[in-house]
């Protein structure tokens, strides 16, 4: 550890870093930042920075509000900036109670705790999200920059230029990009991040979101991870590829299986399917999230799995020949406005539960599930995900699994906060109602 601290202090000195941003995340997934100067850095690294936790969503109550943000020296990274600007670095922090010990409301700690459980069983957990988002002309109205479609190569359009800038900045920060392309919706883009261990990836998603917003802002436009900004168009998802490794070996792979899937993988998928209702409140945490999870826009609605059926909740992508270490499953429910630390935590918990209990995997869904009638789906045992935030919260509230994965503090706060959001929404009179009813009723 000492060498890591020395590395950070020395680099700050050598590279003329002027400010160090200490980042952490509130329970809803918003990134918080405290900026310090190099003079304060050594103390911050050794003792942590004191801050008032009662000002952070989902942190402490007033009477116990002092907390410590302890920078994780492993995450020290220079932020890409323009030539001549002050050099700025960032570190992610772990939050500790002032009296000592980790703070259980810190989402990063929640994820670490779940990863530790996986590690006790000999597994390391990897995530590779495909993040979708929109560029709009401003943040008040929904006005796309273009009207191109999937994979479309658009000439000289601002969207492609922004995506290029974004990929370069991400790569410079050590967040490698697998693919980036124009998505289905007008002005919608997708960037697939190269898989990493779940903790690094959750940090990466946070970094990714802020960099995307900055690139957009620098170019006078607005980037949004809102799950469904436009009715009648595709929404933004964050399909997440998941795999477990035992040391160097992909625990999801079995060359003898017709699907190339190990028993472990099948139990894991079954765990996700069985507990999907309970975890979607976390992976899809906004009222708006459920406007994406509807038929017709390649978003999953029904709890089933398949290899090449993109309407399934869990897809098993075919690894390229000879690339068995690439065996993974893709959970298609999450959206990019989730809290990645909590979302990865509950996905892992559901999968591990499937392994522990040896859940049986139902047969692969072969038809386009959307084309079946309700009766046919019921006959196949396929049911739908919760249709609204309220239904999702009801399912979550009954879940021992989610309670255990998140810990009591986050579990209680989250339900409370989200119940309020639902109640605000329920009492709001929407433009839909004004348009339809005001003139006619």
Q: How far is the CB of 2 from another protein (least distance, A)?
A: 11
Least distance CB 162 / another protein (angstroms) = 19
Q: How far is CA 190 from CA 161, 169, 185, 244, in A?
A: 14, 16, 10, 25
Distance (Å, whole) CA 388 – CA 382: 18
Least separation in angstroms between CB 245 and another protein: 5
- The nearer residue to another protein, 45 or 67, going by C-beta atoms, is 45
Distance CA 218, CA 213 (A): 9
Half-sphere exposure of 68 (CA within 13 A, CB side): 16
- Judged by beta carbon, residue 199 or residue 276, the one nearer another protein is 199
| Minimum distance from residue 105 beta carbon to another protein (Å) | 21
Q: Which residues bind another protein (CB under 8 A)?
A: 3-4, 6-8, 10-11, 14-15, 73-78, 80, 112, 115, 119, 124, 126, 171-176, 194-200, 245, 247-248
Q: Which is nearer to another protein, 71 or 300 (CB)?
A: 71
User: Which pair of structure tokens corresponds to residue 327?
Assistant: 């065996």
CA-based nearest residue to 208, from 200, 241, 110: 200
Computed from CA positions of residues 99, 104, 105, 109, in that sequence, does the dihedral angle turn out positive or negative? Answer: positive
Rank residues 13 and 52 by Cβ distance to another protein and give the closer one. Answer: 13
Nearer Cβ to another protein (243/339): 243
> What are the b/e assignments for 209-224, b being 16+ CB within 10 Å?
bbbbbbbbeeeebbbb
Question: Which residues, 6 or more positions from 262, have their beta carbon under 8 angstroms from its beta carbon?
Answer: 251, 252, 253, 254
In whole angstroms, the minimum distance from the beta carbon of 173 to another protein comes to: 8
CB 401 within 8 A of CB 278: yes
Nearer to another protein, 246 or 374 (CB): 246
Helix, coil or strand: residue 108: helix
In angstroms, give the least distance from the CB of 247 to another protein: 5
We find the least distance from the C-beta atom of residue 8 to another protein, in angstroms, to be: 7
When the beta carbons of 7 and 30 are compared against another protein, the nearer one is 7
């Amino acid at each position: 550890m000492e060498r890591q601290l020395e590395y950070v202090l020395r680099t700050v000195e050598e590279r003329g870093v002027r400010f160090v941003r200490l980042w952490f995340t509130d329970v809803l997934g918003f990134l918080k930042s405290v900026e310090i100067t190099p003079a304060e850095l050594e103390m911050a690294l050794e003792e942590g920075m004191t801050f008032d936790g009662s000002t952070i969503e989902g942190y402490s109550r007033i009477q116990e509000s002092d907390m410590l943000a302890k920078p994780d020296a492993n995450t020290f990274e220079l932020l890409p900036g323009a030539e001549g600007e002050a050099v700025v670095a960032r570190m992610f922090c772990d939050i500790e109670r002032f009296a000592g010990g980790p703070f259980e409301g810190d989402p990063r700690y929640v994820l670490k705790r779940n990863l530790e459980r996986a590690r006790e069983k000999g597994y390391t957990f990897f995530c590779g999200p495909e993040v979708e988002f929109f560029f709009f002309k401003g943040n008040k109205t929904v006005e796309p920059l273009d009207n191109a479609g999937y994979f479309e190569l658009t000439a000289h359009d601002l969207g492609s230029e922004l995506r290029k800038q974004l990929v370069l900045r991400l790569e410079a920060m050590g967040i490698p990009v697998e693919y980036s392309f124009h998505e289905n919706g007008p002005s919608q883009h997708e960037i697939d991040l190269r898989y990493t261990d779940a903790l690094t990836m959750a940090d990466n998603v946070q970094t990714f979101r802020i960099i995307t917003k900055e690139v957009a802002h620098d170019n006078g436009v607005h980037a949004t991870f809102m799950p469904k900004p436009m009715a009648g168009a595709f929404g933004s998802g964050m399909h997440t590829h998941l795999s477990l490794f035992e040391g160097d070996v992909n625990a999801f792979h079995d060359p003898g299986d017709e699907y190339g899937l190990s028993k472990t993988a099948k139990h894991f998928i079954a765990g996700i399917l069985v507990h999907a209702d309970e975890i979607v409140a976390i992976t899809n945490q906004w009222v708006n999230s459920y406007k994406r999870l509807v038929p017709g826009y390649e978003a999953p609605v029904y709890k089933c799995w398949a290899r090449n059926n993109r309407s399934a909740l869990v897809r098993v992508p075919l690894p390229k020949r000879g690339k068995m270490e690439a065996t993974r499953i893709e959970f298609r429910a999450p959206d990019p406005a989730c809290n990645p630390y909590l979302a990865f935590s509950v996905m892992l918990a559901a999968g591990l539960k499937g392994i522990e209990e040896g859940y049986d995997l139902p047969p692969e869904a072969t038809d386009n599930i959307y084309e079946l009638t309700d009766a046919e789906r019921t006959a196949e045992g396929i049911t739908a995900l919760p249709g609204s935030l309220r239904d999702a919260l009801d399912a979550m509230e009954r879940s021992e699994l989610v309670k255990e994965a998140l810990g009591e503090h986050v579990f209680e706060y989250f339900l409370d906060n989200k119940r309020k959001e639902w109640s605000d929404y329920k009492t709001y009179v929407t433009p839909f109602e004004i348009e339809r009813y005001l003139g006619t009723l």
